[in-house]
Structure 1
């Protein structure tokens, strides 16, 4: 196995595997060990469930895209990868967090109540 492929499997592949685990086995109750833990996400069970499902779905999508992109770069283009796989990991996590926080702010008030839909 070449070094670039091993690097991709241990960065992007590991993130993709973790995203599958989080998606298949989301945390059931608010806890400080496992799940999407921000002060807003931990306000109540309804927000916790929403935040974790949103984050897990987003992370699964972006981790999968980053894994496929890095594999394509190294196999199809024979690109010499150095920092790029780790940048894809970082961007996948950051984009998932930003999308989750945006969804939380759109759906819940600062006090933890569900916002009413505008007609």
Structure 2
């Protein structure tokens, strides 16, 4: 398995995105940059809190994925698979963390917003 392309690359990208969002949070509600869902875009308070919280989650998830990706890649050097099998394994190890982190980020941020602002966020 390649040391650059794999789950560690996804982890690095997510970690970097979280650090950028934390360092340069979106100032106003917009449709281009930030955590954009109906509940986060209801008002400035929910917008700021959603972007702060999701940045923290991205940093944690990115760090864990980066570290585990490097560990998996290192472990894969000990196994010798056919090229096709190795390509399938690599594809799965890239897609599963990508969709898992995206889904988890949305799930946990929305759950957090409901906890903080209640079921009905005020406009």
On whether the aligned pair clears a TM of 0.5, the verdict is: yes
Contact 1:59 1:93 in 2 (8 A): no
For 1:13 and 1:103, locate their aligned partners in 2 and report how far apart those are by CA, in whole Å.
24
- The answer for the alignment partner of 2:100 in structure 1 is 91
- The answer for the alignment partner of 2:4 in structure 1 is 6
Q: Deviations over 1:1-55 (max 9, x none)?
A: xx52121354332222222211211111111110001111111100101111111
For 2:31 and 2:39, locate their aligned partners in 1 and report how far apart those are by CA, in whole Å.
13
Three-state SS of the structure 1 residue aligned to 2:4 is helix
Normalization by structure 1: what TM-score?
0.81
Three-state SS of the structure 2 residue aligned to 1:6 is coil
Normalization by structure 2: what TM-score?
0.79
- Considering Cα pairs closer than 8 Å and 6+ residues apart, tell me whether 1 or 2 has the greater RCO: 2
- The answer for the alignment partner of 1:48 in structure 2 is 47
- The answer for the alignment partner of 1:103 in structure 2 is 112
Gaps of 5+ in 1: 114-119
The structure with the greater share of residues assigned to helix is 2
